[in-house]
Structure 1
Amino acid sequence: MNGIRQRRAAGAALITAGGVYFVAEFIAAAAWTDPAYSYTHHFISNLGVHGPLTAFGQYMYSPLAVVMNIGILLVGPAALLGVTLLRGLPGVRRTALIVTAAVMAAGMALVAFFPGSGDDGGTDYHGLGAALAFIVGNIVSILIGRNSRFLGLSPRLGRILVLFGIVGLVSLVAFAAILASGAGVLIGLSERGIIYPFLAGFILTGAAIRKQAGR
């Protein structure tokens, strides 16, 4: 694969990594009509649970849970492929980025294969996967941003990606605090504050790389 084609493929994979999640979430949420799904109140994980069941004080019934779980499953491999195809990173930096992307992909896979809340007393593989995906996904965004000069990305985009990663990690702390308090106020919004930034970062990075490669 020549350089231009490789950059185009890397860009397409990163755009897919973010885009497939947002599409899957929208479709699954739109199918949940009784009661209507709330992006600010309901957990993201609810969309992957067909149910019906109640856990952590929330009713879960997602008619298109399979769509959400497939979308989540595809995020990891697409992002891993994208960062693997990136050109210009020195050896250690490239290895660090690929390893973190692989850990994120493993976390996404656990979330997809073990949908649920972890509120049943068993081993919480779903929670473990979510923690890996949430934390490491934001680290991937920060690493891409910090290495923007090697990747041919603009300094401005690099700063945005680092900011996205920081916002995601701060949102993780806020989400954990709300969950621990039991208040549940805007818990769905705070959870989205963790994952949306780095997924948007993947899309922006992919679009910039595609533009550089002349589409």
Structure 2
Amino acid sequence: MRTIIRSGPTARLGAILLFLGPLVSWAAELITAAAWQHPHYSPFYNWVSHLGLTGPSQVAFGQIGNSPLGAVMDTGWVLYGILLIVGALLTFDLRRGPRPITILVLAIVSGLGVSLVGIFQGSNADVANGLIAFHQFGAQGVMLAGNVMAIVVGASGARIGLGRGRRIASIVLGIVGLVAFPVFMADVFTGWAWNIGMFERAVIYPIMIGHVLLGSGLLVARQTSLRQPVAVGR
């Protein structure tokens, strides 16, 4: 079956970047959440984006935002977006038809989306000056494009070199994220806002786990191909 992945060190570097992106974001989230002291930060109740709020404590979107290390979270999101886009560019061979092109476009939309979340905050100031539109566009863009990417990657897994388990997991993760998205949006727009952080993460984390599976799967596939003996003709 014809591969849609580049060969050589370029592809290996791309796989490493795809793998590292979500890990960088998770590390930034853990560090930032640990620094949040008053009131207690809950990953179930609090918005993820409130971790990126800088400046004084404020009430934004119905919750108190008080993140002393908000800049760390914002940096983590921007780095994640950059690593995702560059990693996909280095990994997928666009000469191989529509599949790699589709995955790359989804990766770019996702990368730009998560970067916009880090650059434009969900703060009262950005609501007042209208910049909140970029934050919302970025958040919803990555939520949709990221989960669709997971499904497309899983469906194209054989051409990427992913094992059967990773292919199925990627598809399931994407479906879970897409199903959770309208539930999350309903929780937002009805004003119920029950455990908003939990539903938000139910949309976001499948994307991040999918990128970990993709990057690690590419690295495993590369190591396996290097170990395979080369047949020598008589």
Query: Does the pair score TM above 0.5?
Result: yes
Report the Cα distance in structure 1 between the residues aligned to 2:90 and 2:152, rounded to whole angstroms.
15
Tell me which of 125, 130, 133 is aligned to 1:122: 130
Letter of the 1:203 counterpart: V
Letter of the 2:103 counterpart: L
Please name the residue that 2:229 is paired with.
Answer: none
Letter of the 1:26 counterpart: L
Name the SS for the 2:59 alignment partner: strand
Name the SS for the 2:223 alignment partner: coil
Deviation at 1:107, TM superposition (A): 1.2
Output one character per residue of 1:15-35: Cα deviation in whole Å (capped at 9) or x when no partner.
111111111111110100111
Report the Cα distance in structure 2 between the residues aligned to 1:102 and 1:27, rounded to whole angstroms.
27
Deviation at 1:157, TM superposition (A): 1.1
Please name the residue that 2:77 is paired with.
Answer: 72
Deviation at 1:8, TM superposition (A): 2.2
Asked whether the equivalents of residues 55 and 119 of structure 1 are also in contact (C-alpha less than 8 Å), the reply is: no
Output one character per residue of 1:118-152: Cα deviation in whole Å (capped at 9) or x when no partner.
65472421111111111111111111111101111
Letter of the 2:99 counterpart: R
Asked whether the equivalents of residues 41 and 189 of structure 1 are also in contact (C-alpha less than 8 Å), the reply is: yes
Report the Cα distance in structure 2 between the residues aligned to 1:79 and 1:133, rounded to whole angstroms.
11
Please name the residue that 1:143 is paired with.
Answer: 152
Moved more, 180-189 or 38-47: 180-189
Please name the residue that 2:114 is paired with.
Answer: 108
Report the Cα distance in structure 1 between the residues aligned to 2:109 and 2:180, rounded to whole angstroms.
20
Deviation at 1:86, TM superposition (A): 2.5
Letter of the 1:122 counterpart: G
Q: Does 1:156 align with 2:160?
A: no
Normalized against structure 1, the TM-score is what? 0.92
Report the Cα distance in structure 2 between the residues aligned to 1:43 and 1:119, rounded to whole angstroms.
16
Asked whether the equivalents of residues 161 and 217 of structure 2 are also in contact (C-alpha less than 8 Å), the reply is: no
Asked whether the equivalents of residues 88 and 151 of structure 1 are also in contact (C-alpha less than 8 Å), the reply is: no
Please name the residue that 2:62 is paired with.
Answer: 57
Asked whether the equivalents of residues 138 and 164 of structure 1 are also in contact (C-alpha less than 8 Å), the reply is: yes
Deviation at 1:42, TM superposition (A): 0.2
Moved more, 179-188 or 158-167: 179-188
Q: Does 1:209 align with 2:234?
A: no
Asked whether the equivalents of residues 92 and 104 of structure 2 are also in contact (C-alpha less than 8 Å), the reply is: no
Gaps of at least 5 residues in structure 2 are 1-5, 225-234
CA RMSD of superposed structures (Å):
1.9
Tell me which of 194, 200, 212 is aligned to 1:191: 200
Please name the residue that 1:92 is paired with.
Answer: 98
Letter of the 1:35 counterpart: P
Report the Cα distance in structure 2 between the residues aligned to 1:87 and 1:72, rounded to whole angstroms.
22
Report the Cα distance in structure 2 between the residues aligned to 1:47 and 1:19, rounded to whole angstroms.
16
Gaps of at least 5 residues in structure 1 are none
Letter of the 2:211 counterpart: F
Name the SS for the 1:195 alignment partner: helix
Asked whether the equivalents of residues 138 and 168 of structure 1 are also in contact (C-alpha less than 8 Å), the reply is: yes
Report the Cα distance in structure 1 between the residues aligned to 2:70 and 2:92, rounded to whole angstroms.
36
Report the Cα distance in structure 2 between the residues aligned to 1:111 and 1:5, rounded to whole angstroms.
31
Output one character per residue of 1:68-110: Cα deviation in whole Å (capped at 9) or x when no partner.
0010001112112222222567221111111111111221221
